[in-house]
Chains A and B, each alone.
Chain A
Amino acid sequence: MDSSNTVGATGDKASLASTSGKNTAPTSGDKLAENTRICTLADLKPGESGTIINIEASCTASSHRRRRLMEMGFCHNTTIKCIRVAPFGDPVEYRLRHYNISLRKHQARTIQVCTPATQHTEASKSLVLTPPEPIELTSEATIPATVALLGNPNCGKTSLFNRLTGLRQKVANYAGVTVTKTTGQCHIKKQQCTLIDLPGTYSLAPTSPDEQVTCDTLLGRRNDTDVPDCLLVILDAANLPHHLYILNEAIELGLPTVVALNMIDRAEHLGIQIDHTALSTYIGAPVIPVSAYTRVGIEQLRTALSQARVPHHPPAQHIPDLLSEAIDTAHAGISTAFTHTSKERSRLLTQRLICENDSIIRYAKNGDESLVVMVTEAQKKLAAAQIDPVATDIESRFEWVDAIMHTWVTTPSTNVGTQSQMHERLDRVLVHPVFGLIGFSAIMFAVFYTVFSVAAPLSDMVEEGIGTFSVWVCSFINPGAFYDLIHDGVFAGVGGVLVFIPQIALLFLLLSILEDSGYLARASFLMDRILSQVGLHGKSFIPLLSSHACAIPGIMAARSIGNTSDRLITMFVAPFMACSARLPVYTLLIAVFFASESALTQSLIFFGLYAFGIVAAFLTAYIGRKCTMHNSSQSFVLEFPAYKIPQLRAIARSMFDNAMHFVKKAGTIILAFSVLIWAALRYPEISLEDKQATIQEHGMSLAQWESIEQKAETSVEPAALNHYTAIQHAIEAKQTEESIAGIIGHSIEPLIAPMGFDWKIGIGLLGAFGAREVFVSTIGITYSLGSDTDEENTDLHAAIRADTRDDGTPLWTIPVVISLFIWFAIAMQCISTVAIMHKETGSWKWSLGQLVYMNGLAFILATIVYTTLS
């Protein structure tokens, strides 16, 4: 049966979408069986299946979103099953082409289905694949200079990249981990070759900035990179029906190609058999089964990169002649417009232009008249013939995919393997509308509870270790100013921060377990409705969660959000999340000022601080959305990855890397700050006259002072010794008051006084603009200045609590502490975040706006809270 075109016959929308013209599923014009009904996808109840008839080209679904849905398999004749509905009725999870995906109801309404699903005959039979003459792959070996990795999100590109280059790029089990182009060196036959890891994309028509990076790189549209010499297309062998689509598009790029069937371990486990040699012959390029997990095939892949071939063009006969003619004519007319791309790539671009109106408008703006004319002409011709170029193109590609599946891939008939059943059972609980949300809250609480409470005993051990080390090091230094620097500056400052290694390590351990398990995509699905109520988006979830480690990767992760205003709002509120640099500050303040509370209360306070950041972010997003940007996205397309037991090695490595990074930060930035802050508190030294004046003010003669100073402490009577110590503290207080830090602190005091802070806290706050942990170091240095060597840390806590203001009232009251909490939770103190915001948004407006807004808000809230409470 061949595709005799039915387009002219009915002429309705449905047939317009199904121009490839197989009458295997009923279109709305056909007679239907009695119990069959036609409805939209949104009308399917969980458990019901249907066959897709048509995706409306409605005006609300912009053309590229519709296109993307089709590229993900929402094509005419595809069977789709409704799996479940998220909490509060939106979005909905569907299953098609062997994978699960979530859509908002709004999008589902633009898709027409007939239900129950029709058992259509194999669509692929119309396309018969005949392998051309086999080619000799081993004949020559040219090592490509650059190899770009291309594939769907989450197919294991970065894992393979890491295997081939030995780097440690971040790998996690959700779409949108890699959002930027990364290069690394790989050795092939003792020659160097540059590998380019790219963000994943479902097709070469990008819908978000991360995908744009990939497409621009491959199409030679970036100024910083040339078109790669070779393409490594990576497919998930366990889910080829979904992944082969990108291969079809990649072939059209006309670059030497190697195909890697990654996750072959999973495919074998699921009983999927792939005749990769036959496939390789058919495509005309090496096809290598590999596993980044078990390392199977990695060496073969390395060798294959030197045998990359320009693949055979997929058979074009299944595209209506009219379409390919239209493309060719337009291409011939406008190929001059594409100066720096090859013939194949410019044909692909021409086709893209014909399919999308948005880009034409841009060309028109650029004044390229002839191009617009050619493309509009082609569009008119196709419209007259009622050919929908997008649907036709995509469906023909899927026809090719299905033919490959049919010819060379055997999937076990009982494809409900034990594994997928187990995943389904897990999903039933974890993504349940009610239990899912409860489970989500429980998981989040458990994470932060563990970080706070489990790490505490470990922290004590680290502290003891540092204490011993400090005594040992100090024993080599003669008493004097340098000794003080090491003891009071370096060890008090850096040691005070290093104590938090266990907490940092635990936080990253738990985050990476979550990231690698496959749960995060589900959590986004659960949270989509709630997030969209506050002006965010389900896809904001992962960027916001990542921001709990650090706002910078969080802001970068927002690249995977397609809608510009959603992305901007997400980036704007990401720094509100309590990042790992705030963790030491929170922990120290809780340990010092809530020491008498039970461990549970302390953890609750800790959790409350995290929650506070989240609430602040939500309120900001809500107000921001209400005031400025109304056009939030209506779509939420997110693929659900398979659940995975996190690899022990990978998470251990992530934990270790992040802990080491923390140590490195303590040993560099925090160390430098500690030295400077110590010096600023110590110099200029108080003059001898001032010192003597202070002693006399306190009613001790200079002779008496000196005699106590000379004698060993034990031989002085206790009362005199106490008097002596009191005076010593007074001198130190005077010293710090008159030091550089004291002068700076006093000068900013009027500014911070409304929040209840004195100049000493002010110094800490200033230091925190370099790195938030510096606040902890500053506190450590301030309160250890002049203290004795053997002083225990608990005494440091006591010293902090006992500190007074100049007028003698206690400095650290509960209102001050709460005000400080608010300041740290909200204020923007990180230059790197400002810089990355500028880079990602391309304007200072957003980055500086964020800086002013966050610090302003922190100031106002802290002031209000302080004045109300005290």
Chain B
Amino acid sequence: MPQELLIALCIFVSLIYLLRVAWKRLHGGCDGCAQNGCTPPAQSKHTSTSARNDTESNNL
């Protein structure tokens, strides 16, 4: 039954793919969608405003 096998393969790949996407989203909020103002992670990095609490930080 090669058709059943093909289906099993499709399901497996889909599952793995979706898990990967979910993982990425939870960990960076971005899976490289490049939508409207976002930047593809391959070439660039999203940065947070985390430097705010540095000792030399000023006025914010």
Q: Using a CB–CB distance below 8 Å, which chain A residues touch chain B? A: 63-64, 165, 167, 169-170, 177, 180-185, 205-210, 212-213, 216, 219, 221-224, 337-338, 341, 349, 352-353, 356, 358-359, 362-363, 366, 368, 478, 480-483, 485, 508, 511, 546, 549-550, 552-553, 556-557, 559, 654, 657-658, 661, 665, 668-669, 671-673, 675-676, 679, 770, 831-833, 835-836, 838-840, 842
Tell me the bound Cα distance from A556 to B28 in angstroms.
13
> Total interface residues on B, using CB and 8 Å?
44
Question: Taking A353-B58, A679-B7 as contacts, is the C-beta distance between A658 and B35 under 8 angstroms?
Answer: yes
A831, closest chain B residue (CB):
B25
1-47 of chain B: CB within 8 A of chain A: 3-4, 6-7, 10-11, 13-15, 17-18, 21-22, 25-31, 33-39, 43-47
How many A-B residue pairs have C-beta atoms within 8 angstroms? Tell me.
Answer: 175
Once the chains bind, are A358 and B48 in contact (CB under 8 Å)?
Answer: no
Out of B3, B30, B51, B59, name the residue touching A205 (CB < 8 Å). B59
Q: Is the Cβ of B43 less than 8 Å from the Cβ of A550?
A: no
Q: Give me the 8 closest cross-chain CB pairs, A-B, nearest first.
A: A835-B29, A553-B37, A672-B14, A836-B29, A482-B3, A359-B58, A216-B51, A182-B44
Query: Which one of B25, B33, B36 has the highest number of Cβ atoms from chain A below 10 Å of its Cβ?
Result: B36
A205 to B27, CA, bound (A): 31
* B residues less than 8 Å from A358 (CB atoms): 58-59
Q: Is the CB of A64 within 8 A of B59?
A: yes
Residues in B whose Cβ lies below 8 Å from that of A508: 36
Q: Given contacts A207-B59, A352-B58, A363-B55, are A665 and B33 in contact (CB under 8 A)?
A: yes
Are A832 and B49 in contact, with the CB atoms below 8 A?
Answer: no
How far, in Å, is A355 (CB) from chain B's closest CB?
9
A residues in contact with B57, CB < 8 Å: 212, 216, 221, 359, 362
Which of chain A's residues have a CB closer than 8 A to the CB of B4?
481-482
A366 to B49, CA, bound (A): 20
- Asked whether B51 lies within 8 Å of A221 as measured between CB atoms, the reply is yes
CB pair B26 A668 closer than 8 Å: no
* A-B contact sample (4 more), CB < 8 A, given A212-B49, A366-B55, A665-B33: A180-B46, A358-B58, A359-B58, A679-B7
Q: Do A216 and B33 touch (CB < 8 A)?
A: no
7 A-B pairs with C-beta separation under 8 A: A183-B45, A205-B58, A349-B56, A358-B58, A359-B59, A669-B17, A836-B29
CA distance A576 to B50 in the complex (A): 26
CB distance from A841 to the nearest CB of B (A): 10
Q: Per DSSP, are chain A's interface residues mostly helix, strand or loop, or mixed?
A: helix
Complex formed: what's the CA distance from A669 to B48 in Å?
Answer: 26
Docked CA distance A372–B15 (Å): 58
A207 to B58, CA, bound (A): 10
Cα of A206 to Cα of B60 in the assembled complex, Å: 7
How far, in whole Å, are A549 and B29 apart by their CA atoms in the complex? 16
* Closest chain A CB from B31 CB (angstroms): 7
Q: Which residue of A lies closest to B22 (CB)?
A: A831
A661 partner, pick from B35, B54, B58, beta carbons under 8 A: B35
A221: contacting residue among B6, B18, B56, CB under 8 A = B56
Q: Nearest Cβ distance between residue B47 and chain A, in whole angstroms?
A: 4
**Do residues B54 and A216 form an inter-chain contact, with CB atoms below 8 A?**
yes
A838 surroundings in chain B (CB, below 8 A): 29
List residues of chain B with CB within 8 A of the CB of A338: 56
Does B47 lie within 8 Å of A213, measured CB to CB?
yes
Contact A559 B3 (CB under 8 A): no
Task: Tell me the complex Cα distance, A831–B31, Å.
Answer: 11
Least Cβ distance of B43 to chain A in Å? 6
